[in-house]
Structures are given as structure tokens and as C-alpha cells.
């Protein structure tokens, strides 16, 4: 019997949902996804939860923020002068910024004031507990 190990290539159906049951992402109605253990496509805690599972096995795991997308960090909320935006702004919209190294950094417009705009650079799921539901479709040893 094949069990998932740290050197497995895994094919699975997955679903991520919030505390209230709202589904954030799911591929149960589509083709299953494949990943090589440790390739970075899944968060480390999500991979760890799969260790030892077998083909056709289903499971659900509740992931606290620390194991999912992190806790909400107030240091990641910035006030930016409104004059720096040359577009119409709406609360909740995602705007792409460049950091000092010219890396793209998405931020959510949290609040629009007369002179300043509050931008939240936390991951949209930071501070949320997520339910991670999986069904293992196939397991192979990674090449």
C-alpha cells in the first residue's frame, strides 16, 4: 500500500473553506491537482497534514492562522498619501505596488480618507482559520 511520504508526488482533490463554511478554493468539481512534496505549491503545514495518507483516503484538517497564511500583522497596514493614486479607488479593491526591489506587492484598499489611503498588505486570508479538506487520488514516488 502506498502512503504519502516527504518524497511523494501526490494527486489530490482539495478544498479550502473559512470558519463560516464559505469555500475559498476547491477543485472537487474539476481535474485533481498534482504536486511534488516540498515544491512550495502547498504551505508546509498543509503538506505535513498529508503525510501517511493513502489513495482514496479523505480527511479534513482545521488550520489555525499560524499554520495557514499567518496572523494579521498591523505593521503590514500602511497609510499612503491619496495624491500617490492616479485612479478611482474603492474599499476592498486590490492594487499592485512595487517595493524597493521592484517586486510586485498586492495591497487591499482598507479605507479611503481625504488625504490618506489605508492599504493592507497582509495576505487576504491572514488571521483566518481554514478548513483544508482533501481526497487523495494518486501517490507516486517523485523522480
How would you label 67-76 residue by residue, b for 16+ Cβ within 10 Å and e otherwise? bbbbeeeeee
Do 65 and 84 sit in the same domain of this protein? no
Q: Are residues 101 and 136 in the same domain?
A: no
- What's the pLDDT score for residue 99? 77
Is position 51 within any domain? yes
What domain range includes position 17?
A: 8-69+126-141
User: For residue 35, what pLDDT is reported?
Assistant: 95
- Are 44 and 64 part of one and the same domain? yes
- Summarize pLDDT for 107-128 with one digit per residue, the tens: 999 999 999 999 999 998 999 9
Grid cell locating 110: 482598507
Cα 15-21-23 angle, rounded to 5 deg: 40
Residue 101 has pLDDT above 90, yes or no: no
Under 8 Å between Cβ of 120 and 108: yes
Domain with residue 133: its CATH number is 3.10.50.40
Amino acid at each position: 500500500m502506498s502512503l504519502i511520504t516527504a518524497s511523494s508526488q501526490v494527486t489530490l482533490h482539495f478544498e479550502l473553506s473559512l470558519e463560516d463554511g464559505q469555500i475559498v478554493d476547491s477543485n472537487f468539481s474539476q481535474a485533481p491537482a498534482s504536486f511534488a512534496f516540498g515544491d512550495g505549491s502547498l504551505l508546509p503545514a498543509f503538506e505535513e497534514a498529508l503525510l501517511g495518507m493513502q489513495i482514496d483516503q479523505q480527511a479534513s484538517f482545521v488550520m489555525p492562522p499560524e499554520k495557514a497564511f499567518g496572523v494579521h500583522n498591523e505593521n503590514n497596514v500602511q497609510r499612503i498619501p491619496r495624491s500617490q493614486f492616479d485612479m478611482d479607488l474603492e474599499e476592498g479593491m486590490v492594487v499592485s505596488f512595487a517595493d524597493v526591489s521592484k517586486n510586485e506587492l498586492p495591497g487591499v484598499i482598507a479605507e479611503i480618507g481625504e488625504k490618506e489611503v489605508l492599504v493592507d498588505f497582509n495576505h487576504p486570508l491572514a488571521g483566518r482559520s481554514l478548513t483544508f479538506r482533501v481526497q487523495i487520488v494518486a501517490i507516486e514516488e517523485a523522480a
